[in-house]
Structure 1
Amino acid sequence: MTAVSGRGPWPGTAGVLDAQLTVLGDLAELPTGVDAVPFLVQLAGRGPGADPVGRTAATMSGPPVELGVHGWKIADHAGADLRRARALLHEDLESLAVAGLGYTGPLAVSVLGPWTLAAELYLARGDRVLSDRGAVRDLVAALADAVAEHVAEVRRRVGGADVVVQLDEPLLAQVGAGVLPTFSGYSRLRAVAGPDLVEGLQTVLDAARAADARSVVHVGSSRGAVEPVVGAGADAVGLDLGTWDEATWETIARAVERGARLWAGLPPARVSQCAGPALGELADLVSVGWRRVGLPAGRLDEVTVVGASSRGRRGPGGGVAGTPDAHRALLANLGRVAAVLAERAHA
């Protein structure tokens, strides 16, 4: 069946348990014929340590990190910054255990993927980790171990969880294209070759699979990042959809034909004062392109819809833009869109 999920970020700075209960409750009330994939919420507005880099570092046993001039960097030893990040993650997992008591079914958890993490994290005394092949290799291995442990930890908290690991890789295409600036900003970091991109992703995805978890890699709107994701063996690829683009849909078709499922990132619905949210337009973003490239209509049943990436649309303090009510409305709208796609799959 078509499904609905979320990427993890949620607005607000407090009330983690309330947010987690809301997500589990709202996704339990989706239309008939639509599956729910609840997710571990992330209240990034709480500040450093709740942000994507700090949160991912909190799942890892090493290397230690701390806040620097340009953000998170590798540290000589664990300090207050990392302790705060781990405390916030612990609070979130405790809330999940309470909210998810007795829950059985899919449950999504998000961490940064290896290449975006290597691009966002800095060396202790130097440039981005991405600039050092040895440091990248160590970071990939550490992240793979962390993903396996994170999956196990979530299962300890929610025994009936069928864990889905979401790797967020919004910078994957830029890493492959060699367009990321160095620390000084006067030059660009070397491009990472396609086979190396695949190998780094595969190491982490294999760890998720060995932990008996499914995987999806979100790449934003960059169709050029889909190929290495599929080559690395991800179960699904998350791609933000917009207006019809033939090249993007041909890329999606090749991915689906190779066995990867689509997690379609959809923007907020356009709202009319007379007709309400234009949910049919959102369903068209998926189904029209799907049929134009010749994919079987029946396989629309395999699509999961999520909100498009909020990267670049941050609220105060680095949190997620919008309100909890707006995000609840988004989940409800996505449920209706998924129901429309389910109908079109069997029309």
Structure 2
Amino acid sequence: MVIATGIGSMPGDDQPAYDEALRVVLGELAPDRHGLPHLPEVPGRGAIASMTGRGLAVLADLDADLQPAGWRLTGTHGRSGVDHRRARSLLAQDLDALEEQAQGYAGAFKIQVAGPWTLATTVERPRGDKLLADHGARRELAQALAEGLRGHVADVRRRLPGVGRLVVQVDEPALAAVLDGVVPTASGFHRHRTVDLPEASQALEWVLEAIAETDAEPWVHSCASGVPWAMLRKAGARGLSADLATLAAADHDALAEALESGESVALGVVAALDPATRPTDGQLTESVLRWLDMLGLDPDGVGERLLVTPTCGLAGASPGWARRALALARATAAHVAG
């Protein structure tokens, strides 16, 4: 049975919008409706709810504050800025809402967190410029994220005791840019040096291994092009989440190998933004079936290892389209499953 899930983010700019996003996700992606529900993110609530703010809220033993230029580490443990404390409080508040709305929930569930390389491109060192510029800071950040995820996963399991399969999706939209050496410096006049593949892989290994050690399933998501999918599998990813439109020939091979090895592939086919012409679930089903046929894979053989998703997060969509996108993903998954 092919299933559907969301990438993570949903539209809205206040707490009622978050509560509504949670209701939509738990309803549209219920397990008995071919779905894998997830903890929604509503970044429209501000920096503390952004991908970076959410990631910093999970870190262990590293503190940060919010500057006019963005998030910056404080350099001293125990010196968390007020906005960092607010980010942690908001995450706890959102988990409270999940616990309340999902009472008695049993089945699989997914949570998301920004990956070490995306955080390294969006957080500054105490003295300025991105963490990406400092080898030691990059290493410390990845290890702090790994340790923080152990506690975060335990907290989610405590709140949702009926969850068996727990997926932790590591979001790495900036990974390809890091490897290509195209991330701008703080001044914008230069580019950060390319990070070599072994270092990039090692940082991800720490994070993905920490997830696996909690008996959760580590995935990596990116809707960018040029993502080294084969490297991510070697680093420990047991699920790959991609936008179908961004994939090159070699990417298709890597995803096919993942499916054939019993790992998960989440294929983004539903528009993340309100489209000028809304597709039908029949059209989306055809695109997934063509992809499987190109790879020589039988739809009946992939089962729940294949998931249908929006192409990226839905934060920029209208509330109506966000709900419709998840419904289309679910209907498409059901049709692919036959």
Q: Is 1:328 aligned to residue 323 of structure 2?
A: yes
Q: In the alignment, which of 295, 299, 302 is matched to residue 300 of structure 1? A: 302
Matched AA of 2:130:
R
Q: In 2, are the aligned partners of 1:55 and 1:89 still within 8 Å (CA)?
A: yes
Greater CA drift, 133-142 or 255-264:
255-264
Deviation at 1:106, TM superposition (A): 1.0
Report the CA distance shift for 1:100/1:208 in structure 2 as closer, same or farther (over 3 A): same
Report the CA distance shift for 1:136/1:246 in structure 2 as closer, same or farther (over 3 A): closer
**Aligned alpha-carbon RMSD (Å):** 2.1
Report the CA distance shift for 1:327/1:183 in structure 2 as closer, same or farther (over 3 A): same
* SS across alignment from 2:47: coil
* SS across alignment from 1:130: helix
Q: In 1, are the aligned partners of 2:142 and 2:207 still within 8 Å (CA)?
A: yes
* Partner deviation per Cα, 1:151-183 (whole Å, 9 max, x = no partner): 100011111123210100011111111111112
Report the CA distance shift for 1:242/1:88 in structure 2 as closer, same or farther (over 3 A): same
Deviation at 1:243, TM superposition (A): 8.0
Question: Percent identity, aligned pairs only?
Answer: 36
- Name the TM-score, length of structure 2 as normaliser: 0.90
Q: In 2, are the aligned partners of 1:271 and 1:277 still within 8 Å (CA)?
A: no
Report the CA distance shift for 1:87/1:243 in structure 2 as closer, same or farther (over 3 A): closer
Deviation at 1:248, TM superposition (A): 3.4
Which residue of structure 1 aligns with residue 28 of structure 2? 26
Write the mapping of 1:161-310 to structure 2, written as runs, cut at 5 A. Answer: 161=163, 162-242=165-245, 246-268=249-271, 277-301=279-303, 302-310=305-313
Which residue of structure 1 aligns with residue 108 of structure 2? 106
Distance 1:158 1:83 in 2: 24
Q: In 2, are the aligned partners of 1:217 and 1:236 still within 8 Å (CA)?
A: yes
Distance 1:230 1:299 in 2: 21
Report the CA distance shift for 1:221/1:197 in structure 2 as closer, same or farther (over 3 A): same
Report the CA distance shift for 1:309/1:244 in structure 2 as closer, same or farther (over 3 A): closer
Deviation at 1:29, TM superposition (A): 7.8
Ranges in structure 1 where 5+ consecutive residues have no aligned partner: 314-319
Which residue of structure 1 aligns with residue 133 of structure 2? 131
Which residue of structure 2 aligns with residue 45 of structure 1? 44
Report the CA distance shift for 1:196/1:79 in structure 2 as closer, same or farther (over 3 A): same
Q: Is 1:11 aligned to residue 14 of structure 2?
A: no
Q: In 1, are the aligned partners of 2:269 and 2:308 still within 8 Å (CA)?
A: yes
Which residue of structure 1 aligns with residue 336 of structure 2? 341
Deviation at 1:60, TM superposition (A): 1.8
Matched AA of 2:189:
Y
Report the CA distance shift for 1:191/1:112 in structure 2 as closer, same or farther (over 3 A): same
Q: In 2, are the aligned partners of 1:73 and 1:122 still within 8 Å (CA)?
A: yes
Distance 1:203 1:174 in 2: 20
- Name the TM-score, length of structure 1 as normaliser: 0.88
